[in-house]
Structure formats: C-alpha cells, structure tokens
Structure 1
Amino acid sequence: MHKQEQGYVWRSSENQSQGVGHVVDLVKNENVDVIFGSPSSRITVPAAHLTSYWNFPMITWIANSFELSDKNLFSTLVRTVGPLSESARLIVTMFNTFNWTKIGNLYLDFGLCLYTAEGIKEEFSAHNLTIMQSIAYHPATVLTRTVMVNYLSIIKQTSRIIYICDENNLRRYMILACELGMCNGEYVFITTYLSAPTEDIWKMNDAFDEQARRAFQHIIYINSAKWTTDEGREAIENFQKEVNEKAALPPWNNDYPLRNNITSTSAEDMYNAAYLYGLWVNYSASNVLDVRDGAAMLAFSKNLSFDGIGGPCDIGMNGDRVPFFWMNQFRGEDTQPEVVAISTDKNRNISITHGFEWYTADGNHPLDEPVCGFFGELCPIPENGI
C-alpha cells in the first residue's frame, strides 16, 4: 500500500441541481481526486454525466438505477452496490431451472420496481424468453379495488409466472389474487426488494391476515444478500457494531444508533467503495497513471474481485458489483419467511438451501402455461365431440 494521507470533503445534496453544483465545487474549488456518491440515483445520474464529460472518477455505493449500468454514457462510474436489476439475471436462471419461458409483469413504474422490470426486459430479450403482458402504472395512479382487479385479470389471461412489484400495495394485490382464484398452486408471484422480508409484510393484525397468510405462500421474494456464510454474517454484524461505536465519537458525536442498536444497511457497501478506490490509488501509482483518470479507473475495476466485509466483492464487466441474492418463501404454519435458495456464479446458478415448496396437486413446480393453453387452444375438441 502506498502511504498517502486521505482526507475528505462532505456535501449533502437534496436535489439534482444541488448535486451537480456540489460536484463542480468539489472538483474545481476543493481539488478532490474522486467523487463518492450520491446515495440517490436521481442525483447520481446528472452528476455522473458531468464526471463522464470531465473524465473524472466517481464511485457510488448505493445508487441503484438501471440507467447507471450504461457505461457508454457513464464512462467513469463504478458501483460497489449490486443493482437490484441484476436480479433479472437470477430470474432467467430460475426460468431455466424450472423450464419456464413466459412471464407477466405488473409493477409500479418507479424506483426499484422499475429498475428490475427494465432488467427483466433486457435479460428476457437476450435469452429468448417471452414477456406475455407488461402492466406498469404511474406512482400517482389511484389503486382502487376495481383498478387492481382489472390489472390482475389482464395478467391472469396470459401468465402463470408473474413479476409483481409495489411494496406499499403487495399485500392488497395478493389478497385480491386469491379472490380471483390465483392461489391454487398454479401461479407463482416473484417480487424483488433490497432488504430481507419479515412477516410484517403480510401480517397487519387485521381481519385480512388469514387471507394474506395464504396468499404469501405463493410468493418467491428475492432480495440482495449481505452474506452467504455464517462467517460472513458474523463479520458484518461486528462491522456494523464498530460503525455505531465510531459514529458516537467526534466529529460525528451521534450515539443514537449505538443506544438503539440501529444498523446501517449500506455501510459495508461504502466500505467496499473506499477499499476499491484504495486499490485504484495503489495501481495508478505503481503504473504511473493519473489517479484522476476516470475511464482508466473504470477499466481497472472491471472484473475486479476482492474480499468485502461479508464475502467476495465481484465487480462485473461493466464496472458494477455483481450482487448475489437470497430467494425466500413464506413457509410453515406461521408463514415465516425462509431462505430457500441462494444465487451463485454471478447469478447463473442457484444453490438450494431448504428447497422450494410448491402447492400444485402433484407437489411439483407449476407450469408457465396450462396444458391446454390459456384459452383451451392446445386441446381442440374433436369434430365428433368426443
């Protein structure tokens, strides 16, 4: 490690214009060598356009937009967060595993739901899989019962395997899906989120709990995994404790997380961002490269692997971390979330931990199309009617 004193200058941006302005200030006035951030994709996108224009290095540890995967546009940006859109590659692997070829999409056209949906479109096109229906609705849409039933009814006409994403309305959708006969074991609902599920996602202690409990048995819940081994879990827990202890010291003087045992969901990703930059500083110094050459930093980072806090941090061919995922089902009498499989080999394979549980008549995974087709077209009635 080349010995260099590293300092930092902090700016907090509340919107896109502030973010771009702060980048100008940091580069032109503070003379920084790299931009870390922003946590917000909305702010990162215009800021990363500017750093690309300047060929200035930028690393983000949490901005998750699918748009930021395009390194023809964002030619100096590296991400140590695994974009949730990468779960689309895992969904393709799942389809190959269960011999599925068709999916229907129903999702909120915003944020993480949108990012995954865009990933599904790209991955399905690349692997000759079919999107039968794609219903995306604006965040301002008033989701009355009638509207939601109509969406589900349209999807039901052509899809048995369904990507569904709307964190605030997933429970309502699933209860209505059961009312429409979609909880008979012949349908699978796939949803994706960053954080791991809890029973609170379906259990509201109201009159609909029993319906929701039955409905959520038909969901495969995919979320970003922080670790894959017990050792990784212990390492992250110790690291999070250390972060809280240091946050209570000057100059932060914030002991609230420590007193209330609150853990950061992204501290290890930020650690990985700082570690990756340290690797680049060493490499650029050893090879007499300009540490401020953003395109060179991106090229250095591609296919880079190093040990992160909770396990390996693998940077993909486009300079974004390739995440791994937990696949959860809600199981047992209490319908508790349980990890049933973990993605491996950069989401090209699945490692079964507890096995998937299906509710079909024969206990096997459902088909992605009825034997006779959605409209009976594959089982024509003989002319004699027999």
Structure 2
Amino acid sequence: MSIHRTVNLQCSASTRHQVQRYRGLLLGILLCLYLCAGCHAEVFKLGYLTGSQRRPGNLDYQRPGITISGAISLAVAQVNAGRLGTLGHSLEFVVAETYGDEVASIRQTAALWTQQVAAYIGPQETCVHEGRMAAAFNLPMISYYCTHRDPSNKLDFPTFARTRPPDTQISKSVVALLLAFNWTQVSFLYLDDVSSQYQPVAETILSTLVSAGVSVRDIRTWNTIYHHGFMANPFDALVEQTHANTRIYLVLGHYYEHVGLMVSLQQRGLLSQGEYFVVGIDIEQYDPAKPEKYLRGMLMEKVEPLAAQAFQSYLGIVPTAPISFATFANEVNKYMERPPFNFPNPLGLFGGAKQISAEAAYLYDAVHLYANSLLTVLDSAGTFSRRSNNINSSDALPDLNLYRNIDWVAGVRPAAAPKCGFGGEKCVNYTGEISAGIAGGALLLLGLVSLVLYRNWRYEQELDSLLWKIDFREVQVHENEKEQQSQKPTRVSCWKMPVTIGLCSND
C-alpha cells in the first residue's frame, strides 16, 4: 500500500494564461514610457525590493533574500546578453532593503520612485499598499513573493503583476480536491505564529471554502512552530477538542508539522477504521528528491512506523517543483556570492551550496516578464495597440487528475460526516415512543373499565347493606281482606303491602 500520494491539479484556462494577461497590462505602461524616452539606447533601471537583513535585536526574521537574490542578477545578465542588448539597451537594478517590515517597504517604494526606476521587482512579504503606490506612480510592479489576494483586483491595482501564484490559487486547489471527494464538512487547523506567514493564506482558504459551499465545523490554531519529537505535541489538544465534531481535517502549516497531527490521530485510534482523513496544505515547493522527509519531523532522521501507518490517511497539496531546478539553483548560488550582494556560502569549503527556495524562480521570472514586455514595446515602435484584458479573476476551479487509484484504509472513501450525523440526529428511532404511547393508551382504557366495574360493584354493596325500617302507622290493612284471612286455617301468611315490602305474621 502506498503511503505517499500525489495529486495533480491543472489550472483553469484563465490561470494558465495569467502571465500573458499580466504581460498585456505591462505593455501599455511600457509603451507610454518608451514613447516619452525616444528611440535611442537606454538603460532601464529596476528597483529590487527585498528582505535580506535583520534589524538589530530581531532574531526571528528569516531573511528570504539571502537565498534567492542571486536570481535577479542571473536574469539581468541573461537579458542583457540577449536581444535587448543587441538593440543597444540594457537593464540594471538597485537594491532596496525592507527588513521584512511593511513600513520600511512602503518607504523604499517611494524612495525608488525618486530614483526614477522604470519598474519595481517585488516587494517581498507585503504588497497591498506598495501596489497602490505603484499604481499612483504609473509604474509596473511585478511581485515574486507576496501572495495576498487583494492586488489581484486590477481595478484597484492596474499596474500590479506577479509571478508567484496568489493565495486564491492555493485555496481553489483545496476546494477542487474536497468537492471531488464530496468532503463538504471539514475542520480547519493552521499555524498562527508571530510571523503571520500563514494568516492571509488561511483567510483566503476560509473565504473560498464558504463560497464553494463547504461547511467549516471547527477552526483551531497553534501558535508556535512545532518540531515533532522534540516538543509537546499541540495537536493532542486540538484533536481532543474537534474529533467528535468532524471526520475530515484541513491542516495548513510547515510540512513537518503535519506529522504531529497524523501521529496524534493514529495514537487515538481514529485512523484505524478509515473514518478520518487529513488534507495537508504546504505553501513551500515540493522536493521530489526527498519524498520521505514529508513523513517525518524536520529534525528526525528516520520515519516512525506510527507515522508511516498514519499517512495512509493523508493527501498533500503542495506547489509543483520546477524542471531542472538543481542547475538553476547552482547558478543562483554563484551570483549571490558576487556584487552587489556578496552573500557568503558557508558550505562552499565542503563542496556544498545554499538551499535555494522556489521564490528564486519567481524572482527570475519577474525580470524576464518585464524584459519580454519591454521588447514587445520596442518592436512595436509606437504602433503597439493595447487590447483590453479580462481583469476579473476567474472563479473556475482546477481540474483534479489522479494518476492512480487511492488505496483507502477501509476500502471506500471516508465520508464527510457519519451516516447518522455527528450527534445521531439523522437516525432517531421512534419505536420506544410509539410503544410507550400504545401501552399508555391500553393502561388508560383498562383504568376506565376498572373504574366503571368498581362503581357498579360498590353500588350493589351499598344496596345490600341498607336496613329498611317502616313506621307501623304507615301500614294500611283493608277490612275485607282481614276477614277473609281470618276465616282461613291458621297458617303463616304474608300480606302484600303497597310498598312492595312483605310483612310476615303467625296467625
């Protein structure tokens, strides 16, 4: 039985042409800049917004720029060596440090405008206010990192483009998977730590779930990055609070944190019957070279047997790894050690290199997206006509394609809810109530009959116990009847009285 499953989600038509739509938006802006600049050779300056350093005293910021910045140097070098260079033009870039802080990022956006940059490459963690500023300056802004959904609205952000898929694409993939398996009731768990990296993604997922008609029965969070095997498992308490009210879990966090949830469910015996299932969401690029790492904690060397068994009830949604990424990563590492970054490689003496994240590829694509749009404008020589673009993001969901059948634990797909409901409300049995009603009616009828019989019996008893006394003065005897009786032989006779009471005497 396979314990690691792959789900392929193909983007919708509008998503597949996302880069082309953004390119169309850039062409109109670049045309205006080009017509103003004339046809002579020109250097186009890019403003690179990055977070590569920490402020004094801040030891938490991860500094993504130190593992991706070489990609912009690589891309600019390739563009200048290509067709843009043969036309006598070139690209250059200036670095603007943001320290991962939104206020600093906004300040640098304004500062780059004063340096007359032709376009922004970035920003990094935040992009909403920066995107509005770029629109006010009428300058292209191509984000390689920020996934916030608001800048996807081209009415408010007409000059904003991005090469990294926004949160809406992640959430649509989640909904497509849930609806494909008819999992319309879920509980949602996600990491909500000080970096707030997953907070906007979680909000977008929740909004998309509600829009798609998926009921979210519980929402729970954990507040510290969890390393399985070295810390108290926060999922023990979360499972205790939610397992009676759900069957399908959604978990958003680092891939190595998902192990904690799976082990907690397995230890409680909830996965053994195939009634529970987990859909894991990871926003970091999938590593096809080390698939086993997704079954263990980041600091653990081996996969626990308990975890391996638990992951039979797990499906993961992760960004697809780019092709030939290893070769690309080597080139990025080389350029990071060169000016203007000069980031040292601590593993260089041992023949190693820094691990390059997927954002390096998005940064690389951002430069080429700008360069290709610029070449289109230059080739048009003023005859470029901007066609209208569909600025409304599509609501279509990706298609789900399974490469092979899934070996469900119980042989069938888990249901989103028990057959009788979580509280047994769908299987209410009225047999007891009906039986009680019949018995009650019979007892009532028996009681009425008994009461009538008792009343009759009681009446007869009262009649039998009466002593009749008649005043002698009320007895009347006719004379002729008395004479006739006196002539008869002596015998015991009974006189019939008018009151139907017999008086007996001895004559």
Q: Which amino acid aligns with 2:398?
A: R
Query: What is the one-letter code of the residue matched to 1:177?
Result: L
Partner secondary structure for residue 272 of structure 1: helix
What is the identity, as a one-letter code, of the residue corresponding to 1:348?
Answer: P
Q: What do the CA deviations read for 1:283-309 (whole angstroms, capped 9, x no partner)? A: 44537499xxxxx8xx98x67xxxxxx
Matches within 5 A, 1:1-386: 3=87, 4-14=89-99, 15-28=101-114, 30-41=115-126, 44-109=127-192, 111-136=196-221, 148-167=235-254, 169-184=257-272, 185-193=274-282, 194-196=284-286, 198-204=291-297, 205=300, 209-227=304-322, 233-234=323-324, 236-248=325-337, 256=345, 259-265=351-357, 266-285=359-378, 286=380, 288=382, 318=393, 348-360=398-410, 363-384=411-432
3-state SS of 2:94 partner: coil
CA RMSD of aligned residues (A): 3.7
What secondary structure, in the 3-state scheme, does the structure 2 residue paired with 1:224 have?
coil
Quote the Cα distance in structure 1 between the aligned partners of 2:268 and 2:383. Answer: 62
Contact 2:285 2:321 in 1 (8 A): no
* Partners of 2:246 and 2:152 in 1: CA distance: 29
Q: Determine if contact 1:240/1:264 at 8 Å carries over to the other structure.
A: yes
Question: Separation in 1 of the partners of 2:179 and 2:397?
Answer: 12
CA–CA distance in 1 between the matches of 2:234 and 2:367? 46
Does the residue aligned with 1:356 lie in a helix, a strand or coil?
coil
- Matched position secondary structure for 2:182: coil
Q: CA deviation at 1:251?
A: 5.5
Distance 1:381 1:208 in 2: 47
SS state of the match for residue 198, structure 2? helix
Q: 1:308 maps to which residue? A: none
Aligned-partner Cα distance in 1 for 2:214–2:381: 45
User: What TM-score, normalized by structure 2, do the two folds share?
Assistant: 0.56
- CA shift in 2, pair 1:206/1:241, >3 Å: closer
Quickly say closer, same or farther: Cα 1:196–1:147, change in 2 above 3 A: closer
Q: In the TM superposition, what whole-angstrom CA distance separates every residue of 1:43-64 from its partner, at most 9, and x where no partner exists?
A: x333223223333321111122
Write the letter of the residue equivalent to 1:262: K
The alpha-carbon deviation at position 81 of structure 1 amounts to 0.4
Distance in 2 of aligned mates of 1:126 and 1:383: 40
Change (3 A) 1:48 1:155: same
Structure 1, unaligned runs of 5 or more: 228-232, 291-295, 304-315, 323-345
The alpha-carbon distance between structure 1 residues 148 and 254, as it changes in their structure 2 partners (threshold 3 A), is: closer
Q: Distance in 2 between matches of 1:36 and 1:26?
A: 11
Q: Secondary structure at the match of 2:116?
A: coil
Q: How far 1:189 moved relative to its partner? A: 1.0
The offset of 1:72, in angstroms, is 4.6
| Structure having the larger proportion of residues in helix | 2
CA spacing shift, 1:191–1:72, aligned 2, 3 Å: farther
Which shows bigger deviation, 97-106 or 203-212?
Answer: 203-212
Residues matched between the structures, number:
329
Query: How far did residue 225 of structure 1 move?
Result: 0.7
Judge conservation of contact 1:162–1:188 (CA < 8 Å) in 2. yes
Contact 1:80–1:272 (Cα < 8 Å) also in 2: yes
Partners of 2:103 and 2:343 lie apart in 1 by: 29
Q: Are the aligned partners of 2:153 and 2:392 in contact in 1 as well (CA < 8 Å)?
A: no
Larger-Rg structure: 2
1:141-163 deviations in Å (ceiling 9; x for gaps)? 9xx96974443233323321111
Distance 1:97 1:66 in 2: 24
CA distance in 1 between partners of 2:225 and 2:341 (Å): 38
State the TM-score, normalized to the length of structure 1: 0.72
Q: Distance in 2 between matches of 1:148 and 1:254?
A: 38
The share of aligned pairs that are identical, in percent, is 20
Greater CA deviation, 62-71 or 77-86? 62-71
Distance in 1, Cα, partners of 2:329 & 2:191: 32
SS at match of 1:135: strand
User: 1-side partners of 2:177 and 2:302: how far apart?
Assistant: 34
The gaps in structure 2 that reach 5 residues or longer are 1-82, 436-507
Residues 141-186 of structure 1, C-alpha deviations (whole Å, 9 max, x = no match)? 9xx9697444323332332111112336433333222233322321
Q: State how far apart, in whole Å, the 1-side matches of 2:302 and 2:430 are.
A: 48
SS in 1 for 2:354: coil
> What one-letter code is carried by the residue in structure 2 that aligns with 1:351?
N
Residues 102, 131 of structure 1: 8 Å contact kept: yes
Q: Letter of the aligned partner of 1:181 in structure 2?
A: G
2-structure distance, mates of 1:188, 1:73: 40
Q: Distance in 1 between matches of 2:295 and 2:160?
A: 38
Residues 85, 117 of structure 1: 8 Å contact kept: no
